[in-house]
Amino acid sequence: MSVMCERSLSTQFRRVVVADDHMLVAQGIERLLTDTFATVELVASGEQLVESVRRDPPDVVVADISMPGMSGIDAMRLMRGEGYAMPFVFLTMHDESSVAAEAIRAGARGYILKSSAGDELMRALVGIMDGQTYVTPTLAANAIVCSGRPAYTLTEKQLRILEYVALGLRSKQIAYELGVSVRTIESHKYVIMQELGVHGTLELVRKAEQEGLIRH
């Protein structure tokens, strides 16, 4: 593990939940993450993942897709529906671009093959922590094409601003809510509009709803 990755993650991440029904795999991931997270919790199913997130929301979730009962993607959809916004990273053996596309379309921030885990997982988490989306390079291009839309790289703060905009709040009101300047809010709104390829507030809200970027 690189010193850079370790320092970047350890200064900002408190807790990670790892969901995988193969205990040896889960323990291997735990060893990778234990130096950079204060707490690493292992769960073995989608249902246990949901229970863990509800009990103590983590900073990030690293999950397999295929697990007994509820899949990792279904667990993420349920959590998103309940308003949990922490990044989900899927670490899986599924190397089909269509599955990667489904995960990204459903709201995942990362999709990494188990065959290339290790340093790649740590590098991916650094970017995901900054609001980026990461897909294993061998799948990335096809996953974006299959998803029917690009993988947006909005930060958590920008997604929150987007939700306030959708509620009809003006920049001054959003600035007050977030404790930042109006100029900062306007700057973020400009970046969001550029990312989504729109030019006005109404168009922005409509596009964000279509892309599933606004939680309801």
Tens-digit pLDDT profile for residues 11-42: 456 899 999 999 888 999 999 888 888 899 99
Burial 172-185 (b: 16+ CB within 10 A, else e): eebbeeeeeeeebb
What are the chain's domains?
3-147 (3.40.50.2300), 156-210 (1.10.10.10)
How remote is the C-alpha of 135 from its chain's centroid? 11
Tens-digit pLDDT profile for residues 158-206: 888 988 998 889 999 999 988 889 998 988 888 888 878 888 888 888 8
pTM value is: 0.62
Q: What would the mean pLDDT of 137-145 be, rounded to a whole number?
A: 58
Given the DSSP bridges, would you call strands 39-43 and 110-113 parallel, antiparallel or unpaired?
A: unpaired
Quickly list DSSP for 31-48: HHHTTT-SEEEEESSHHH
Q: How far apart are CA 142 and CA 138, in angstroms?
A: 8
Q: How would residue 140 be classed by pLDDT, with cut points 50, 70 and 90?
A: low
Q: Are 104 and 88 in contact (CB under 8 A)?
A: no
Strand boundaries in 56-185, DSSP class E:
60-63, 88-92, 110-113, 134-135
In the sheet that holds 39-43, the strands lie side by side as 39-43, 15-19, 60-63, 88-92, 110-113, 134-135
Angle, helices 72-81 vs 46-55, to 10°: value is 30
Tens-digit pLDDT profile for residues 76-119: 999 988 888 899 999 988 887 778 888 888 889 889 988 777 77
In percent, how much of the chain has pLDDT > 70? 86
DSSP state letter for 56: S
Q: Which helix (H) or strand (E) holds 89?
A: strand 88-92
